[in-house]
Amino acid sequence: MTREIWKHFDYLLFGCVIILCVFGVVMIQSAAAGNQIVLDLVPRQMIYIGISMGVMLLTAIVDYRNWASLTRYMYIFIVGLLMVVFITARTLFGAARWLEVGTILIQPSELAKVVVILVLANYFARNHDKPHDLKWILRSLILTGGIVVWIILQPSLSVSIVIMVLWFAMLWISGLETKYIIIFAIAGLIVGVIFFLFFMQDYQKLRIVQFIFPDPTARHGNTYNVDQALITIGSGGWFGQGYGHGTQVQLRFLKVRHTDFIFSAMAEEFGFVGTILVTGLLIFVIIRCLRAARLASDRFGALIAVGCAVLIFFQGAVNIGVNLNVIPVTGLTLPFISYGGSSLLSLSLGIGLVESVIARKDIH
């Protein structure tokens, strides 16, 4: 059995993820720009990569179908973890999203993304032959909402949106009728307006307002950060200023350059061509995930692979969109490249699940 697993293992997908992770360390090193606080994150990210690659390989070895019987316990565990965060976590950067384990900050909402993929994949696979009516839809929404509500309370609107996108994408791929799509579009618009008016935090409202009505004179805050990101991207030109030579990055005009705006730092140092190559690698990862979905031996595996593809696509698209100022600022990182142990671990866990699916494509 083990020999068969490694025979079908997607080495191209695994290799591409490693390249992206290593490139991320290289960019974090440059983004440090002499700042010792950021520079200390480089060896930590390397440790995260080592742990994440180990988790990915171990997850690939385990038969993904074994997770189906554990989804209930995983769901209870992640909800419990999110409740602990809400009750005990101290506020950092305006939100309480992290559990402190020694000097390490763990963000359970990142792990929740993968749990949601597994829970929904199991639900839709088990109920595929049942009528795809409102009851079928609402049960999946309740499952998703049971996790999302605790993430909203942190508050973490961006992760909540990611999980709702995962729910809708997996719902749609499982056979959602067109009439319900129209209903959800109208309902989503109404709920969005109500949430903005009565439930959204002030800083979240400010991000949207500043996006629609930017203040060109701002010298701090989201408007300033996005303006600096656009200047950084523009200064890179076609081929960039060279590694470690980007003026916006090295002189620290670009803020949050190792996480949210690492794409801009990459654009300044490697130019348009460099960003296209890196974006191409991310697209390749998404394509390999979709390939795994197509070759999967059952519906559960196919839905897992689709969920992981949607997660990487949406998170990457939002991060790049923020850097290009086509959507409001969020806290989503660039997959496999931005600094962050929890994000990297959850994405690697997802890739491990995809590898497990493709490795057993001929095993029924």
Nearest to 108 by CA among 72, 146, 154: 154
Q: What is the pLDDT of residue 288?
A: 97
CA distances from 263 to 6, 12, 220, 250 (A): 34, 23, 20, 15
User: Is the pLDDT higher at 178 or at 11?
Assistant: 11
- Mean pLDDT value across residues 115-129: 95
Q: Quote the CA–CA distance of 183 and 206 in Å, as a whole number.
A: 29
Predicted local distance difference test score (pLDDT) of residue 223: 80
**pLDDT in the model for residue 214:** 77
Q: What is the pLDDT of residue 188?
A: 83
pLDDT(1) > 60? no
Please identify which residue in the block is written with the tokens 């009750």.
87
Better-predicted residue by pLDDT, 283 or 228: 283
* Residue 315: per-residue pLDDT: 95
pLDDT of residue 98: 66
How high is the pLDDT of residue 89?
A: 63
Range with the poorest average pLDDT among 70-74, 87-91, 229-233: 87-91
Give the angle 77-80-84 at the CA atoms, nearest 5°: 135
Q: Does residue 356 register a pLDDT over 80?
A: yes
Range in 87-96, 177-186, 350-359 with the lowest mean pLDDT? 87-96
Q: Is the pLDDT of residue 93 over 60?
A: no
- Give me the mean pLDDT over the 56-72 stretch: 94
- Residue 358 scores a pLDDT above 90: yes
The answer to whether the beta carbons of residues 353 and 61 sit under 8 Å apart is no
pLDDT, greater one: 3 or 208: 208
SS3 307: helix
**Among the listed ranges 38-52, 205-219, 350-364, which one has the minimum average pLDDT value?**
205-219
User: CB count, 10 Å around CB of 62?
Assistant: 13
Determine the pLDDT at residue 244: 87
pLDDT, tens only, 274-309? 999 999 999 999 999 999 999 998 999 999 999 999
| Model confidence pLDDT, tens digit, residues 170-217 | 999 998 888 888 888 888 888 888 887 777 777 777 888 778 877 776
- The mean predicted confidence, pLDDT, of the chain is 88
Q: Which residue shows structure tokens 């949210």? A: 260
What are 104's strand-pairing partners? 101
Between 323 and 156, the more confident residue is 323
Task: Label residue 117 by pLDDT band (50, 70, 90).
Answer: very high
Question: For the segment 138-181, what is each residue's pLDDT rounded down to a tens digit?
Answer: 999 999 999 999 998 887 888 999 999 999 999 999 988 888 88
pLDDT at 2 over 70: no
- 321-341 in b/e form (b: 16+ CB < 10 A) is ebbebeebbbbbbbbbbbbbb
Region 325-350: mean pLDDT is: 91
Q: Which residue has the higher pLDDT, 337 or 89?
A: 337
Q: Is the CB of residue 276 less than 8 Å from the CB of residue 11?
A: no
